[in-house]
Copies of this chain bind each other. A is one copy, B any other.
Amino acid sequence: MTAIGSGGLRPFYSLEINAQAQSLKAQGRDICFLEQGQPAVPPAPKVREAVKAALDGPQGYTHFAGQPELREGLAQYYADRHGVAVAADSIIATMGSSAGFILAFLGSFAPGAKIAVTRPGYPAYLNTLEGMGFRAVEIPLTAESGWRLTAADIEAAHSRERFDGLLFASPANPTGAAVTREGLAAIVAVCAKLGVRLISDEIYHGLDYRGPSVSALEFTRDAIVINSFSKYYCMTGWRIGWMVLPDDLLRRAQMLQQNLFISAPTLSQIAARVALVERDYCEEQKAHYAGNRTLLSAGLSGLGFDVHEGDGAFYAYADVGRFTNDSLSFCKELLEVAGVAATPGIDFDRVSGHRFVRFSYAGSKPTTETALQRMAGFLRR
């Protein structure tokens, strides 16, 4: 029997903290949940009404790539929001962006291939790559450059160690950093020059506070674009996302989707179709996040945290070096003592994350206010 150790695989600490927080809540504790990136509200009322109605109809598997109506709605989304023509047949509805990453990796790269990701970055990038037998190359980012990835960063990293693919998000998790239109164009160009397959994680699109989100599809059809209904559309638990494939990878990705996943959840696809056109509701939530963003930034700064205000998403990535050099212990204690759940920076950065904590401001205003009050008490102890 082949023994498998955990290798470079690490827990997703945000979810570990969440499990601990849920356990405390079940014991009667009042918890402020700021550890996960999820809106406090459900999707738009019309989305839920559509699902209620659908509960009396068929709920079986859909077309493996997703319901044609959903894929046509997504093609329309690219025409409307980005001015690009995307064929509905180039799209696959996925079980969240999670399944999209799996399909992107297995669809594009040979076993053992090297894929570059940013540090800090979304923890599941590294862990999924490690868990699936790929190799990750980290491109370090700095607070001084606004945590923004540049074409020069990519070129420098590639000259140190060649890689086959680049996966990055804009706006990014955990920093909220978003590249500009010119910055993204340069990243696309440098990937083409280096022969690096670009995977553009656009899951936080719509949640840009400094102007409209820019898709990699505006510059290239060679990139894999991954997106999801989780964040902007308030549908985390629905596990529904999508990907846009370049022609040369489409057939392999479809076959992988068929065999690895069959089809995305049917009710979630029905919900997603409606969510796509219920943008007013999403914009209301975005206005709320914008308010919470100011509240949380000011509050954390007042507590002595060094906070960089991101360009998008709904996270504050705070340097807590004044208080600890062990963010995991800090977060565990903050949860146990003060009832505030937050994510240790080691989730996003295995090198320097010991000095950082990520707070989500996707929750309600009262939750954010209470969390700040509790943290003030916690730090005064």
* Contact surface of A with B, Cβ cutoff 8 Å: 1-2, 4, 6, 9-12, 15-16, 18-19, 22, 26, 36, 38-39, 42-43, 48, 51-52, 55-65, 68, 95-96, 98-99, 102, 106-113, 123-124, 127-128, 131-133, 164, 195-197, 235-239, 249, 251-252, 254-256, 258-268
Across the interface, A102 reaches (CB within 8 A) one of B102, B127, B239, namely: B102
Contacts A12-B258, A18-B61 hold; do A109 and B265 have CB atoms under 8 A apart? no
- Tell me the complex Cα distance, A261–B100, Å: 10
Q: How far is the CB of A109 from chain B (nearest CB, A)?
A: 6
- Do B259 and A123 touch (CB < 8 A)? yes
Number of copies: 2
Across the interface, A64 reaches (CB within 8 A) one of B12, B57, B60, namely: B12
Sample (24) of A-B pairs whose CB atoms are under 8 Å apart: A1-B195, A2-B197, A4-B110, A6-B255, A12-B258, A15-B263, A18-B61, A18-B64, A19-B63, A36-B60, A36-B61, A42-B57, A43-B59, A48-B55, A60-B237, A95-B95, A95-B265, A96-B262, A98-B261, A98-B262, A123-B259, A124-B258, A124-B259, A124-B260
Q: How far is the CB of A103 from chain B (nearest CB, A)?
A: 9
- Do A95 and B261 touch (CB < 8 A)? yes
- Do A131 and B239 touch (CB < 8 A)? no
- Do B38 and A61 touch (CB < 8 A)? yes
- Tell me the complex Cα distance, A239–B124, Å: 21
Contacts A4-B110, A132-B132 hold; do A259 and B64 have CB atoms under 8 A apart? no
Q: How far is the CB of A253 from chain B (nearest CB, A)?
A: 10
- Tell me the complex Cα distance, A238–B108, Å: 28
- Do B4 and A108 touch (CB < 8 A)? yes
Across the interface, A267 reaches (CB within 8 A) one of B56, B124, B238, namely: B238
Across the interface, A131 reaches (CB within 8 A) one of B36, B108, B196, B259, namely: B259
| Residues of chain B contacted by A42 (CB below 8 angstroms) | 55, 57-59
| Residues of chain B contacted by A133 (CB below 8 angstroms) | 111, 133
- Tell me the complex Cα distance, A56–B197, Å: 42
- Tell me the complex Cα distance, A120–B290, Å: 56
- Do B64 and A19 touch (CB < 8 A)? yes
Q: How far is the CB of A304 from chain B (nearest CB, A)?
A: 31
Name the 8 nearest CB pairs between A and B, nearest first.
A237-B266, A12-B258, A127-B259, A111-B133, A124-B259, A239-B265, A15-B64, A48-B55
Q: A1-B164, A4-B107, A111-B111 are known; give 16 further A-B pairs, CB within 8 A.
A: A1-B197, A2-B197, A4-B249, A4-B252, A9-B259, A10-B255, A15-B263, A36-B61, A38-B61, A48-B56, A52-B52, A61-B236, A95-B265, A106-B131, A131-B256, A239-B263
- Do A9 and B255 touch (CB < 8 A)? yes
- Tell me the complex Cα distance, A371–B249, Å: 37
- Do B267 and A12 touch (CB < 8 A)? no
- Do A260 and B9 touch (CB < 8 A)? no
- Do B262 and A63 touch (CB < 8 A)? no
| Residues of chain B contacted by A10 (CB below 8 angstroms) | 255
Contacts A133-B111, A252-B6 hold; do A102 and B52 have CB atoms under 8 A apart? no
